[in-house]
Amino acid sequence: MQADGRCAHRAGGRLERCERPAHGAGEGAHETYGVTVQLLLVRHALPRRSEPGQGSDPSLSDDGVAQAARLPDALARFPITRLVSSPQVRAIETGRPVADKLGLPIEIDERFAEYDRDLPHYIPVEQIAKENPQELQRLIDGRLPSGVDESEFLGRVGAAVDDLVAAADHDDTVAVFSHGGVINVLLHRILGTERLLSFHVDYASVTRLLSSRTGRLAVAAVNTTEHVWDLLPRNQRW
């Protein structure tokens, strides 16, 4: 957010990121004081695609490795006390440079897995338009892919965050390496957005959530990407 309270935009008018006072409309709260826990939600870096039969759990691509390598410096200003990750390879590999820098273990929580974890293969969203336009339209419309149980997904992700906050010590900062769908449904839960998928969450981006003493979650920043702006597929044309 700029000094006059506006969101920062990049060329072409597309919103790159927006930081504002903590707001938790979906939780019935507007609190900027009494923060006890800070959650840094980091989307995994760019993975390879997998082919049918190879499962939906690919490792990072070469570009993804480069994106993940920038995270230790990007997160250096935060007093991180704990690292948690989705069980999927692309999330764990994204967190490893931070774990190595801080000397902290990466704890795995199955509930932070993406909605695609049981699908037969993984296609980066940039390639879906050509291969499966119907599924791309669902994502554009803010819906999860067909075949995904939305209620189950929201329930397990919400429970994971609730447990994480409840177990945290006072003033803890926890980095969670996860996925675009996971981050979107958490923002939906807090802000009460009309659609489940309302935000463009870039690879290796950082979204900050704050928890008050009462356990209410608020959003401090969404999709911070300055550290990897030049490495993001959608920015390659600039």
Query: Quick one: which of 46, 38, 160, 147 has its CA closest to 107?
Result: 160
As a whole number, the mean pLDDT across the chain is 84
Report the alpha-carbon distance of residue 218 to residue 210 in Å, rounded.
5
95 or 3: whose pLDDT is higher?
A: 95
pLDDT tens per residue, range 15-40:
344 444 444 433 333 344 467 899 99
pLDDT score of 22: 44
Report the alpha-carbon distance of residue 164 to residue 174 in Å, rounded.
9
pLDDT bin (cut points 50, 70, 90) of residue 52 is low
Structure tokens at 219: 């959003």
Q: Please say whether the beta carbons of 88 and 179 come within 8 A.
A: yes
Mean pLDDT calculated for residue range 67-81:
98
pLDDT tens per residue, range 92-113:
999 999 999 999 999 999 999 9
Q: Please say whether the beta carbons of 87 and 178 come within 8 A.
A: no
Could you tell me the fold of the domain covering 23-235?
Answer: Rossmann fold (3.40.50)
- The gap from C-alpha 171 to its chain's centroid, in whole angstroms, comes to 21
Q: DSSP class of residue 97? A: H
Angle between helices 62-69 and 89-102 (to 10 degrees): 30
Q: What is the domain partition of the chain in residue ranges?
A: 23-235
